Structure 1
Amino acid sequence: MNLYAVRAIYTCEMARTWRTLMQSIVAPVISTSLYFIVFGSAIGSRMPIVGGVSYGAFIVPGLIMLSLLTQSISNAAFGIYFPKFAGTIYELLSAPVSTMEIVVSYVGAAATKSIVLGVIILATAAFFVPLRVEHPAWMLGFLLLTAATFSLIGFIIGIWADGFEKLQVVPLLIVTPLTFLGGSFYSIKMLPPFWRTVALFNPVVYLISGFRWSFYGSADVGVGISLGVTLGFLLASVVIVTWIFETGYRLKA
């Protein structure tokens, strides 16, 4: 692997984050803090214990996952779209850099940004609610795996999009609603039987459930199933990215 090329692309992408610090880090943290204030404090004080913990603590994994999914997709999508928009993607494709090195660089940078944001949100949550992490290794594993998987999905969206508006279609109209309906603010066990069954068709349920299990040891679905679904997303994304570079889809046109 050409580590010099990987480091160059990765460093360039990370530098863009520090130039847009307000948009990349500060704004998502403030938005999530407002969720803690509104749902954790105002509404949580009127809610009973959920899953053996206070409502404010219960929603922390869901809020972290909400930010992680949306930011991973957005960071990776914008990261690869701008070279396409500026025309510099052709210089990258003609350089002695392999497909794997390109993907590792862009996806690694996007995942790093999302993980840093997730850790900051986790630290911020400690100021609002009492937290505990029963399985820190699993929590870190789910964090890394989810960030990498959805950064790959964002990479695919960035290649597919042929306009700025398309970059926001999937995060805003698909991922965010699925996350809100995936148990971010409630346990699907609280739903009526019919809607509980419907919720199981939402893939985000498994991501949030597995991540919440790493915090409190309780989950809506088995942790093994959650891990399997996440790995399935990762495998499918790798296959699509490989096909894109083999065919030149939306890259060489």
Structure 2
Amino acid sequence: MNFHAIRAIYIFEMSRTFRTLLQSIASPVISTSLYFIVFGSAIGAHMNQVDGVSYGSFIVPGLIMLAILTESISNASFGIYMPRFIGTIYEVLSAPVSVVEIVVGYVGAAASKSILLGLIILITARLFVGFSIEHPVWMIAFLILTSVTFSLFGFIIGVWADGWEKLQIVPTLIITPLTFLGGSFYSISMLPELWQKITLFNPVVYLVSGFRWSFYGVSDVDVGVSLGMTLVFMTLCVIAIVAIFRTGYRIKA
């Protein structure tokens, strides 16, 4: 394992984040804070508890997950798209660096940014609502697992995209709606029975549910199922990335 190569890619990607703190960190934190103000403080003050948890506290895991999913995909897709766009990807491919080292470098940096963002939002949430974390180890585990999984997915999108607008299509038109409909602001038990069954086809439900369980011990689906679904999606992403490098799809041509 060429750790020098991984470190070089990782540091380069992380340094870009610290050069654009306003866009990379401040913007999503401010946006999420507005959700806490509107939904948590204003609307939550006039709502009953959900599954025994105050509404303001109930939406904390969902909002953190919304930010993590969006930023993981955005960071990873942009990280690999830029070298393709300016042509420096060929220098990386011609260097004595393996596929595993390239993916670990780019995906590791994207996941690190998302984990950092998630922790900052978690701290910021304390300014608006009170909450507890019953299973802190599992909370960190879900945070890391989700960040890595969707950074892998973002890497795939960055390879697939052949234009700037395509980098935003999946996060904006697919991931964000799925997150809003995945129980971020409500429990799916509040839906009619038919819609409860339909919602189970939304993969984000399992992510939000498992993450919320780590906070309050309540979930819409079994935590084991949530963990299993996340691991399945991660495996599919790894398989897709292996296929990309084997065939050279849009990365060697």
Shorter-chain TM-score: which interval?
over 0.9
Task: Within 5 Å, give how 1:124-203 maps onto structure 2.
Answer: 124-203=124-203
2:38 is aligned to 38
Q: Write the distance in 2 (CA, Å) between the matches of 1:140 and 1:233.
A: 19
Residues 228-250 of structure 1: per-residue CA shift (max 9 Å, x gap)? 00000100000000000011000
1:118 is aligned to 118
TM-score (norm 2): 1.00
1:67 is aligned to 67
Identify which range, 125-134 or 208-217, moves more after superposition. 125-134
Q: Write the distance in 2 (CA, Å) between the matches of 1:51 and 1:246.
A: 48
Q: Is 2:253 the counterpart of 1:250?
A: no
Q: Write the distance in 2 (CA, Å) between the matches of 1:192 and 1:5.
A: 52
1:230 is aligned to 230
TM-score (norm 1): 1.00
Q: Is 2:220 the counterpart of 1:220?
A: yes
> Which consecutive residues of structure 1, in runs of 5 or more, have no partner in the other structure?
none
3-state DSSP class of the match of 2:251?
coil
**Percent pairwise identity:** 71
Per-residue deviation, 1:51: 1.4
Matched positions, count: 253
Per-residue deviation, 1:19: 0.7
Q: Write the distance in 2 (CA, Å) between the matches of 1:47 and 1:9.
A: 47
Per-residue deviation, 1:82: 0.3
> Which consecutive residues of structure 2, in runs of 5 or more, have no partner in the other structure?
none
Q: Write the distance in 1 (CA, Å) between the matches of 2:28 and 2:44.
A: 21
C-alpha RMSD of matched pairs (Å): 0.4
Which AA in structure 2 matches 1:78? F
3-state DSSP class of the match of 1:218?
coil
Q: Write the distance in 1 (CA, Å) between the matches of 2:160 and 2:49.
A: 44
Which AA in structure 2 matches 1:39? F
Per-residue deviation, 1:52: 1.1
Per-residue deviation, 1:171: 0.2
Q: Write the distance in 2 (CA, Å) between the matches of 1:91 and 1:8.
A: 13
Residues 34-55 of structure 1: per-residue CA shift (max 9 Å, x gap)? 0000000111011101111110
Per-residue deviation, 1:252: 1.3
Per-residue deviation, 1:131: 1.1
Q: Write the distance in 2 (CA, Å) between the matches of 1:114 and 1:19.
A: 16
